[in-house]
Amino acid sequence: MIKREKNRILSLATIGMLFLISLTLVSAEGDEKLITAGDNVAISFWIATALMLASTAFFILERNNVAPKWKTSMTVAALVTGVAWYHYTYMRDHWVITGESPLVLRYVDWLITVPLQVSEFYLILAAVGVATAALFWRLFGASLIMLIAGYIGESAVIGGGPWLWFAIGMVAWFYIIYEIWVGDAKNKVSEASEGTQFAFKAMALILTVGWAIYPLGYFLGESGSAEAINNLNIIYNLADAVNKTAFGLMVWYAATLDTKATASEE
């Protein structure tokens, strides 16, 4: 019975995946321009697109194999890569056709996926017993300030120049790092399960090291060199691979650790 149920979910997921893949093909066929060899930015867009789709399918399928308390985290991980996959299908076409940065869609994507990741952090903190609604809103607010400042700086919709807005974004990001490393979470985490401890450490590293790739991309992108736009896009695409796929994999690994531990207790 359970097996039948599982097979049904698996086949539904497979159908869903094939559907998503066929959508990707349709939009690729409609393009007037093709990727030229040596267009490394376009290649990085295509790799990121495929990676986001594969990660989404993986997280949805693996959701069935983890303990119930980790299922929501797996769902959120799949949503992050799923939303990104959808936006990447557009961003990559935008690049191939215009040769320009898909600036607006990039920030639209972050505006949805970063709050989703903040919710993921919140779920992990909740497992450690240190999550409060106030903390969630502080992290959420700081991440919004960071992204809005970045958008204003890159798009130049308001004056001030790219570096003032960069500085504001950096302050918001440092505040997030401060909350994670200096808040009470880290004291309580040593009492939590092995899986939760792993997830917490992974989260702290992603926020500090993984997220650092973005300001680096911004910095190089605004440097005014001829390669600036290429650097910016390759670095942002790489950053998304680390922060969306690798982060989801860490959550999945933490969930698997916990699920095994619970199974051996029983």
Ligand X SMILES: *C/C=C(C)/C=C/C=C(C)/C=C/C1=C(C)CCCC1(C)C
Q: If binding is defined by CB under 6 A, does position 81 make contact with ligand X?
A: no
Distance CA 74, CA 63 (A): 6
- Work out whether 59 is an interface residue with ligand X (CB under 6 A): no
Which one of 215, 238, 256, 262 is in contact with ligand X (CB under 6 A)?
Answer: 215
Amino acid identity, position 47: I
What is the C-alpha separation between 67 and 127, in angstroms, rounded?
A: 13
> Which phi-psi region, left, alpha or beta, contains residue 159 (left: φ > 0; alpha: ψ -120 to 50)?
beta
User: In the complex with ligand X, which residue's Cβ is closer, 10 or 209?
Assistant: 209
Minimum gap (Å) between residue 238 Cβ and ligand X: 12
Q: How far is the CB of 48 from ligand X (least distance, A)?
A: 11
- CB closer to ligand X, 97 vs 167: 167
Q: CA dihedral defined by 216, 248, 260, 13, rounded to 10 degrees?
A: -160
How far is residue 118's CA from residue 115's CA, in Å, rounded to a whole number? Answer: 5
Q: Give the C-alpha separation, 102 to 98, whole Å.
A: 9
Stretch 98-137: interaction string toward ligand X, x if CB under 6 A: ------------x--xx--x--------------------
Please, which residue, 76 or 146, has the CB nearer to ligand X?
Answer: 146
How far does Cα 172 stand from its chain's mean position? Answer: 18
Q: Which residues bind ligand X (CB under 6 A)?
A: 110, 113-114, 117, 146-147, 149-150, 166, 169-170, 173, 211, 214-215, 218, 240, 243-244
